[in-house]
Structure 1
């Protein structure tokens, strides 16, 4: 382990995962597919960089979340029509999330927000002729199903960013708390 602070460790993971997240979102919008190479890239990043920046005892336990999330994703694939690529990407992203109650709550909050935001933005943008003319070959514009990889990738990127930059997270939490009173 490199002996980095928590923020530095998450910054490394954020910078390495961000291109993969952008690629997954673009691919799911354009092809309605999340390529296996993106899933393999996430696993490789956590295998190598995760081991370098996360204490071994935490790193090894985070692999358990891969099995749990894959089982849930496979059930959603079989029963609810969730995409297989979504299940694989979610499983590959799972070890990047800390397993504390607060982090799980944050992840679920981000997933809910990203899901609603991505769905709304996608449905709105596909109704704008200039957007669909600029991207005429994007399968998601005409597909009945929603490219959920956009929300999954956004959730991973946002979580890593919030953990890497805790001052922003504190500001955001304060903002949310002040609007709920």
Structure 2
């Protein structure tokens, strides 16, 4: 059972979906997660979360963001994770209560494996490559993790909204 309320999860799902889709698209096309999209995700939290979360939970979201930013930058420096991925994960983490971290990590692991397999499969299909010839991710050695991060965020909100 996820701790985010149904109303909060549904609102966050609707509000963050455009940002998540644009982030995944940008990462696929350019291998970049623009700061503007990260800031938009954080702004959605800052502006709308007080209407849906308790004050304590709202404030803890900022702590989650700071901690995840530190983790993301560590992974950027030492593990080859993109800086944009770390910043996007930090903005995402603001929405996730501590009690939901393990289920979210399980969803992320599933998305990471599935998105990696799908990306590698699709880039090997000539018709897909011809349809998207300017996508940098097809020829890049690294994986566009924004795809998995965006999917994780939206799936978490959907699970909290429709199973809670």
The normalised TM-score by structure 2 is 0.95
Secondary structure, aligned partner of 2:33:
coil
- Distance, in Å, in 1 between the alignment partners of 2:80 and 2:139 is 18
- Distance, in Å, in 1 between the alignment partners of 2:56 and 2:90 is 20
CA contact (8 A) 1:62 1:99 kept: no
In the alignment, structure 1 residue 98 sits paired with structure 2 residue 97:
yes
- Distance, in Å, in 1 between the alignment partners of 2:8 and 2:116 is 31
Q: Which runs of 5+ in 1 are unaligned?
A: 168-181
In the alignment, structure 1 residue 45 sits paired with structure 2 residue 47:
no
**CA RMSD after TM alignment:** 1.1
Aligned to 1:75: 74
Secondary structure, aligned partner of 1:48:
helix
Secondary structure, aligned partner of 1:165:
helix
Higher relative contact order (CA 8 A, sep 6+): 2
Per-residue CA distance 1:103-140 (angstroms, 9 max, x = gap): 11111101100000000000000000110100000000
- Distance, in Å, in 2 between the alignment partners of 1:96 and 1:165 is 17
Within 5 Å, give how 1:102-181 maps onto structure 2: 103-166=100-163
TM-superposed deviation, 1:83: 0.3
Secondary structure, aligned partner of 1:154:
helix
Between stretches 117-126 and 48-57, larger displacement belongs to 48-57
Q: How many residues align?
A: 161
TM-superposed deviation, 1:57: 1.4
- Distance, in Å, in 1 between the alignment partners of 2:66 and 2:59 is 13
TM-superposed deviation, 1:51: 1.2
Within 5 Å, give how 1:15-94 maps onto structure 2: 15-94=14-93
Larger radius of gyration: 1
Aligned to 1:177: none
Q: Which runs of 5+ in 2 are unaligned?
A: none
- Distance, in Å, in 2 between the alignment partners of 1:40 and 1:72 is 18
Per-residue CA distance 1:70-90 (angstroms, 9 max, x = gap): 111111000011100001000
Aligned to 1:172: none
